[in-house]
Amino acid sequence: MLWIKNGIVVDPKNGIDAERMDIFVKNGKIVNEEDVRKEDCRVIDANNKLVVAGGVDMHAHIAGSKINVGRTMRPEEMRVVRQTAGKLRASMGRVLLTSPAIGYEYARMGYTTAVEAATPPIGAPHTHEELDSIPVVDKASLTVFGNWHPVFKYAADRDREKMKAFIAWALERTKGFGVKVVNPGGVEAWMYGGNVRNLDDEVPKWSVTPREIITELVNANEELNLPHSVHLHCNNLGVPGNYQTTIETIKLVSGIRNDSRQVLHVTHVQFNAYAGSSWRDVASGAAEIAKVVNSMDNVTIDMGQAIFGHATAMTSDAPFQFTLHKLTGSRWVNKDTEIEGGAGIVPITYMPKNPVHALQWAIGLELGLLVESDRVVLSTDYPNGGPYTEYPYVMAMLMSRRMREKELDRVSPYVQKATSLPAIEVEKTLYEVIEMTRSLPARVMGLESKGHLGTGADADIAIYNLNPNDLDPASQYDVVNREFRVPAYTIKDGEIIVKDGNLLKETWGRTYWVDARKKASVDSIDSDLNEFFTEYYTVRRENYGVAEYWMRKPERLEVN
């Protein structure tokens, strides 16, 4: 049992803004004071310290074949050995961290939950093996659906019941948490040497469009009532003028409602927020996207903030990665995953004096500042936009115009004419930034026990050496940037994992997955699945997928 005394609590989900409170922990959960014997509690003196829920990173690429290929492409990354404590495992990497380092660095920053954002279905065993190698944090993975042949078939046929059955079957087989959609139809078109350029382009051989794929998946997802909405990587990523596609896509769900959460989450929007007709006149479309998102209460986004320095682009959007390879001349890997999709990997370095890179950096901040804080999650789309270990830098930038002005002095002047960032006066409050990194990502994912400090929540807690009542983030941005990198304590399931930035022990978090089979007739697609596996797959159906007993610490969330 723990007794956290006299902390200054910020807990947006429960409306608590810098109130002095005690927090009590028992059996890994936050409980009421009367539920513990104080004389039996270990006491943590949090006097004048900030106490918040553990951070939730709802979109990062932390496991699977793509990150391993990325490590292979950048062997110099592995020469960096990160400091570890005691008998903990080797912690290596600069941006592309090894699996142990991923868990350690999240914990060192006060984060306790992370979601792998794109799992190719046939690669699910590999993904789960790596998730099981990441210590401390709780995890989940999103299964990629948007270019899977059965999805094309059921969307073209408008067969909602079979679409629901297929989603339920696929989530169980992959032990996935939700429906991820990447450049719907575009990756399949890439197999024929093309792409899709608008929502009404037909996918070759299938007589179905991105518009139909998205709307059918969203409606099926909502009828299944999955914890998380469809998680969408829009068409035309990385293309000047693509902000218009993003806005058109968001408006597809204007008539779909869910009283408990959004019905669509649009991810790493920075990469889909470009105005202009070419790279010669590319500009920001973030303000226009922000207006649309703020006008709708059923859509959320995350930033996809670019961080200057090394990164590695890796997505299930094969045509975009080839385009990036051609633009930069960097090394490139392409991967075709059966009848499910295709991915690409390209190393990249964001440079502040490069006009396009500076534009990307500015657009991410525009989105974080202009979209209301209950609709935009802080992310870098790790490692596409850069390391998640730079979240404190982004938090400080959102809270301080003075810091942004200082940073603008060192980036390409192209940003001054191509974005609205220099004129934005908004300074997010600490409450809003905690919402963007804790309560909102937990709500977006449907993880009810995460992201807050209410009774019954998981005892995932971060304590920082700063007092919100004495802090002016606008002028003390250096304090924000420094202190959010090194928590006084990180507590996971009631255990103290980090103290004063030092790792004390290695624990193992859960891996969440969603079982929706009671909400759909999986037997109805049995013959279709047999046909797909017999005709097109290189593995037998009975050998496909992940058994729960293979996983280190599975946590099944059943949808009834």
Same domain? 46 vs 160: no
pLDDT at res. 449 = 97
At which residue do the structure tokens 């193992």 appear? 508
Residues 6+ apart with CB under 8 A from 170: 121, 143, 145, 148, 176
pLDDT at res. 241 = 97
Q: How far is CA 147 from CA 190, 206, 236, in A?
A: 11, 11, 15
CATH of the domain at 415: 3.20.20
User: Does the CA dihedral 350-355-356-362 come out positive or negative?
Assistant: positive
Residues 6+ apart with CB under 8 A from 442: 13, 53, 56, 58, 113, 448, 450, 451, 452
Q: CA nearest 468: which of 3, 12, 109?
A: 12
Mean pLDDT for the stretch of residues 492-517: 96
Same domain? 168 vs 226: yes
Same domain? 73 vs 126: yes
pLDDT at res. 85 = 60
Mean pLDDT for the stretch of residues 8-37: 97
Whether the predicted pLDDT of 523 surpasses 80:
yes
pLDDT at res. 332 = 86
Same domain? 454 vs 397: no
In a domain, 544, yes or no: no
Domain boundary among 503, 530, 546: 503
In a domain, 525, yes or no: no
Same domain? 59 vs 126: yes
pLDDT band at 459 (very low <50, low <70, confident <90, very high): very high
Whether the predicted pLDDT of 8 surpasses 90:
yes
Same domain? 39 vs 158: no
In a domain, 67, yes or no: yes
337 DSSP β-pair partners:
341
CB 181 within 8 A of CB 217: yes
335-387 pLDDT tens trace: 888 999 999 999 999 999 999 999 999 999 999 999 999 999 999 999 999 99
Whether the predicted pLDDT of 496 surpasses 90:
yes
Residue type, 225: N
Considering the chain, what percentage of its residues have pLDDT values greater than 70? 99
pLDDT at res. 182 = 97
pLDDT at res. 93 = 86
CATH of the domain at 22: 2.30.40.10
CB 155 within 8 A of CB 193: no
* Parent domain of 111: 55-307+354-426
In a domain, 117, yes or no: yes
At which residue do the structure tokens 């993904």 appear? 127
Same domain? 72 vs 123: yes
SS3 228: coil
In a domain, 560, yes or no: no
What does the CA dihedral 143, 450, 263, 559 come to, rounded to 10 degrees?
70
pLDDT at res. 327 = 85
Same domain? 224 vs 364: yes
Q: Strand pairing of 91-92 and 178-182? A: unpaired
In a domain, 84, yes or no: yes
Q: Strand pairing of 55-60 and 111-119? A: parallel
75-105 pLDDT tens trace: 888 777 777 766 688 888 889 999 999 999 9
Same domain? 402 vs 475: no
Same domain? 210 vs 145: yes
pLDDT at res. 78 = 76
Same domain? 199 vs 252: yes
466: buried, middle or exposed (CB in 10 Å: 19+, 13-18, 0-12)? Answer: buried
In a domain, 147, yes or no: yes
pLDDT at res. 86 = 67
Same domain? 12 vs 135: no
Number of domains in the chain: 2
Least confident of 254-258, 277-281, 332-336, 493-497: 332-336
SS3 336: strand
